[in-house]
Amino acid sequence: MKNQVQLITYVDRLGGGDLRALQALLTQGEDNPLRGRFGGVHLLPFFHPIDGADAGFDPIDHTRVDPRLGDWSDLAALAAPESGLDVMADVIVNHMSSQSPQFLDYQAHGEASEHAGLFLTLDAVFPDGANEALLTAVYRPRPGLPLTVLPAGDARRIFWTTFTPQQIDIDVEHPSGEAYLEAILRRFASVGIRSIRLDAAGYAIKRAGRSCFMMPETFAFIAAFSAKARALGIEVLVEVHSYYRRQIEIARQVDWVYDFALPPLVLHAFAFGTAGPLKQWAEMRPRNALTVLDTHDGIGIIDIGADAADRAGSPGLVPPEELDALVEWIHRNSQGESRLATGAAASNLDLYQVNCTFFDALGGNERDYLLARAIQFFLPGIPQVYYVGLLAGRNDLALLQRTGVGRDINRHHYTRAEIDERLRADVVRQLLQLIELRNAHPAFGGQFELLGSGDTELRLAWTHGEHRAELWVDFKDPARHGLRFSEASGRETTLRFDALGSSGSPTP
C-alpha cells in the first residue's frame, strides 16, 4: 500500500452516482479539491445487491458488480495506474445472502444440490448434538444464538447465521467453500484490485465447545487465505474487533490490521483530559496498521475494554467505569442522537459499538476534530478516512428513522450539491490541507518518535534527514496545541486550529 491517506466510501453514497462518477470526483477537474487527494480508495461492497439486509455485506453474487454502479470494466478503470488510486475491496469470507443462487438451489434440492457443502449447518459443527453449555460457549457480538431454521429440500435445517438470518455462513473449510472464495480472489486480481479486507474473518471457523472466534484454527485459515491472495499480488487487511492484546497477536500474522483501539482512545483523551491510555497504546500498537477514527460501523468499545472472552478478567486500556462514562459522554455530545442508534434501541445491533459520526461524538468541536485527525495521521500506519468523516458529517437521524438500522446514522447519502457545500466549510478545507501534508511531507517516510510529555499531553514526531514533523496536544487545555512541518530548505509550516468554530464539549 502507498504511504498515503486512503478514502473509505460507498460508491453510491458520495455524490449519489456510480463508479465512473466516483472516479471523476476523485481524479478529475482542475478546481476539484478532492482531485489527487488520496493514495487509495476502499470501496465498500459494490456487489449485487448494494441494498440487501446489510448494505451490501450480504451479497447475492460476490463476483458481480451491482449494475446500478457499473461493471468490472469500471472497476478496472478506477484501479488502473493512471488513476493514481490503489483500490481495496471486501472479501466477505463468513457468509453470503440467503437469496444467492447457491443457497436457493440448496433449499430447492437439499443434499442433492451441487452446493450442499457450501453452507454451514449446526450438525456440521456439532455432529454429536449441541447442548446449552456448548452453545453458550460460542462468542456472540449480538444477542441470541447464531442459528436460523430454514427449509432445505424435504427437510428443515439449522443454519449458522452469525450476523442476520439473511446472511448464511459459509463452510470455508469445505472444498465448495474454498472454491467459492478463490473465485472471488481471481475476479478481483483480474481487474487490478491489489488489496482486500477480510470481512468477518474472525468468525469464519467453528469448533464444538469453543468460542468460534479468533481461535488458532481461525489464524490458520487467515494465513492460508492470505497466502492465496498474495500469490495473486493482493495484500490482505484483516478486520477484527477484539481485545487489544489479541489485535497485537493478529498483527504479527497478517499483512495489515485496523487500529480499532485508536478512535475510542482519542475520544477518551478529550473526555478525561488525559493522554495516559493513548500514550500507552502508542508504545505497543502494531505498526502494520490502518489507522481510522470512523468507518461504516460504529465506534468500537470492546477494542479498549477488558477481555470479554477471558473469565479471569484481563484488564483493558481503560477501566470499566471510565469506559461507561465515555459512552455517556458521547451520548451527551451528540445530544442523545447516538443513544437512539446504539444497542437495543436499534436493529442489526452490535453490543460493542456506539453508533455516531466521529464529529458528533466530539460535540461538533471543529478544533478537537482536526486535532483528532492530526493524531490519526501522525501515528505509524496508513490513515484511512471515512467519507462522512471527510466532510465532517453530522448524524443522519432521518435515515436512521427510515431504516431502523443503528449504523445508518453514520451512512448518509450525500448529493453532489451537499459535497460542494461541505468542501467550502473551514473544517473540511483544513482537513484536506492536513491530508495533503500527510501525503507529501518527506518526514512521514522516516522515523517515528513518541516524545516525553506530561500526563495531559501528547507529543509525536517524524524525522527523515533534515525534514521533521511535530504534533503536540494538551488534552486538559486543547487550545495549547500545534503542528510544525519543517523542511531541509529551512522553510517551516505551522498550523493551529483556534480560529475554527467550537461548540465546546461536556465533561464526563
Residue 54 assigned to a binding site? yes
Q: pLDDT grade, residue 56 (50/70/90)? A: confident
Phi, psi of 95 (to 5 degrees): -160, 170
Q: At what angle do helices 416-423 and 426-440 cross, to 10 degrees?
A: 80
Looking at beta carbons, which pairs linking 437-445 to residues 24 or more positions away fall under 8 Å? Answer: 437/469, 437/485, 437/493, 438/4, 438/5, 438/377, 438/383, 439/4, 439/5, 439/37, 439/39, 441/467, 441/469, 441/485, 442/467, 442/487, 443/467, 443/468, 443/469, 443/485, 444/3, 444/469, 445/3
At 101 the pLDDT is 96
Alpha helices in 191-319 (DSSP H): 216-231, 244-251, 262-272, 276-284
pLDDT for res 3: 96
Q: Is 407 annotated as a binding residue?
A: yes
Task: Copy the grid coordinates of residue 76.
Answer: 478496472
198 annotated to a ligand binding site: yes
Please check the confidence at residue 264 and state whether its pLDDT lies above 70.
yes
Residue 507 pLDDT > 90, yes or no? Answer: no
DSSP string, 29-50: -TT-TTTT--SEEEE---EEPT
Q: Is 418 exposed, middle or buried (0-12, 13-18, 19+ CB in 10 A)?
A: middle
| Side chain identity, residue 500 | L
| Residue 239 annotated as lining a ligand binding site | yes
The Cα 478–Cα 366 span in angstroms is 12
- pLDDT tens across 270-290, in order? 999 999 999 999 999 999 999
pLDDT tens-digit series, residues 192-228? 999 999 999 999 999 999 999 989 999 999 999 999 9
Asked if residues 481 and 371 have their Cβ atoms less than 8 Å apart, the reply is yes
Residue 312: what pLDDT? 61
Q: Which three cell numbers stand for residue 331?
A: 451520548
H helix intervals, 334-365? 337-341, 358-361
Give the mean model confidence (pLDDT) for residues 229-247.
92
pLDDT at position 451 over 50: yes
12 has binding-site annotation:
no
Note whether 98 and 150 are within 8 A (CB).
yes
The pLDDT of residue 249 is 87
Grid cell at residue 311: 473469565
Q: Confirm or deny that 297 is annotated as ligand binding.
A: yes
Q: How confident is the model at residue 347 (pLDDT cuts 50, 70, 90)?
A: very low
Q: State the greatest distance between any 2 C-alpha atoms of the chain, in Å, as a whole number.
A: 78
Instruction: Give percent of the chain with pLDDT exceeding 70.
Output: 95
**Nearest CA among 286, 283, 277 for reference residue 259:** 286
Residue-level pLDDT at 310: 65
pTM of the predicted model, to two decimals? 0.94
Instruction: Point out the residues that are catalytic.
Output: 199, 239
Mean pLDDT of all residues in the chain?
Answer: 93
Q: Average the pLDDT over 1-10 and give the result.
A: 96
- The C-alpha atoms of residue 42 and residue 194 are separated, in whole angstroms, by 11
353 is in an annotated binding site: yes
Report whether 135 contacts 22 (CB < 8 A).
no
pLDDT of 504 reads 42
pLDDT digits (tens, 9 = 90+) for 465-479: 999 999 999 999 999
> Is the pLDDT confidence value at 240 over 90?
no
Phi, psi of 473 (to 5 degrees): -140, 135
Q: Residue 253's CB: how many other CB atoms inside 10 A?
A: 13
Give which of 278, 289, 252 is closest to 380, Cα–Cα: 289
81 cis-preceded (ω within 30 degrees of 0): no
What is the average pLDDT across 384-407? 96
Query: Is 423 in contact with 435 (CB distance < 8 Å)?
Result: no
User: Mean pLDDT across the stretch 91-100?
Assistant: 95
Q: What share of the chain is helix, strand, coil (3-state, %, to 5)?
A: 35, 20, 45
197: annotated binding-site residue? Answer: yes
Q: Is 350 annotated as a binding residue?
A: yes
Strands 95-97 and 167-169: antiparallel
* 352 assigned binding-site residue: yes
Q: Is 447 marked as a binding-site residue?
A: no
Q: Is 71 annotated as a binding residue?
A: no
What is the chain's Cα-based Rg? 23
Residue 311's pLDDT is what? 57
Res. 348: pLDDT tops 60: no
